[in-house]
Amino acid sequence: MFLLLEKIGSGTLDFLETSGRMGMFLMRALTSMFQMPFKVNPVVRQVHFIGARSAFVILFTGLFTGMVLGLQGYYTLRKFGSEGFLGSAVALSLIRELGPVLTALMVIGRAGSAICAEVGIMRNSEQIDALECMAVDPFRYLIAPKLLAGIIAMPLLTAIFDVIGILGGYLVGTGLFGINPGAYFQGMYTSVVWADVEMGLVKSLVFGLLMVWIAACKGFYLHMERSGGFGAEGVSRTTTDAVVLSSVSVLVWDYLISALLL
């Protein structure tokens, strides 16, 4: 009985502590983004890492997602005799939902894990302590450029995903099922409005922030992990945690934003 109470208690304390730590981390990271003098180079380097180097993966997944949407959409729409709406169906599901979510999940797998491991190893090998002892703010030097780059890169990647996905749907629709190309795009013009694009944009901005926030924070406080964040195994476990937590958060926030903006 007491053992159970003890477990609940320590679990709750741990949860509160972690939440508090993550909140403080985000505050410090956000404020350090606006500290002068602003350095452009580190941000550009991070945008290159998170954005440019994810572009190929995004192109690939975007194309196939669009093609699958074309196949499945055509199959469903044909039942109602409205194949002409294929363009709007593909575009709306990509822009509002699949584009931001799938992009975020792909980038988390590629860049989120890397950010967590990088920061975690820097923590483990005392490199973050070294920065602090040199009176160099690790948030400003290390975290802020990554956070800013995440917020810049994620919407851009999402845009690429959307465009290439729409193209994939077009290829399947016109090439395979002989849908009129004009009808494919005309449906899109009439049904996609600014509010749809806005929703996709808001989502991708939030996901970009979420990814870097969770990955960097997990790595940064590696030594405080309750499961023990020591050595190579600690880094690997924390990286896995970070990827799982950010993926789940992306899906949860996807629902929340959809519900709020609908």
Partner 1 sequence: MISNQDDHNPPVVIELAGVEKSFGRQKVLRGVNLQVREGRTLVIVGASGQGKSVIIKHMLGLVRPDRGEVKVFGRDMNRLNRKQKDEVRENFGVLFQNAALFDSLNVYDNVALPLRERTRLNEDEVREGVMAKLGLMGLQEAIDKFPAQLSGGMRKRVGLARALMLQPKIVFFDEPTTGLDAHKSNELYRLFYRTQQQLGYTAVIVSHDVPKIFKLADEVALLAEGQIQGCMSPEDFQLSEQPTIRAFVEETMGHLYSSDREENGLYAQV
- C-alpha gyration radius of the chain: 22
Which ranges in 51-193 belong to alpha helices (H)?
55-79, 86-93, 99-107, 113-124, 127-133, 138, 144-170, 177, 181-191
Which residue in the set 13, 134, 244, 252 belongs to the binding site for partner 1 (CB under 8 A)?
134
DSSP 8-class letter at 38: P
- Under the binding rule (CB under 8 A), the answer on residue 119 touching partner 1 is no
Contact pattern from residue 151 through residue 190 relative to partner 1, giving x for each residue in contact according to CB under 8 A and a dash for the rest: ----------------------------------------
Verify binding: residue 251, partner 1, rule CB under 8 A: no
Q: What is the dihedral of CA 251, 239, 108, 71, to 10 degrees?
A: -70
Closer CB to partner 1, residue 122 or residue 188? 122
* 232 belongs to the binding site for partner 1 (CB under 8 A): no
Q: Which of 27, 136, 195, 244 binds partner 1 (CB under 8 A)?
A: 136
* Member of 36, 133, 260, 262 binding partner 1 (CB under 8 A): 133
Distances (CA, A) of 258 to 30, 199, 201, 250: 25, 8, 12, 12
Q: Exposure of 235 by Cβ count < 10 A (0-12 exposed, 13-18 middle, 19+ buried)? A: buried
* Of the candidate residues 26, 87, 95, 118, the single one contacting partner 1 (CB under 8 A): 118
Residue numbers of the site for partner 1 (CB under 8 A)?
118, 121-122, 125-127, 129-130, 132-137, 141
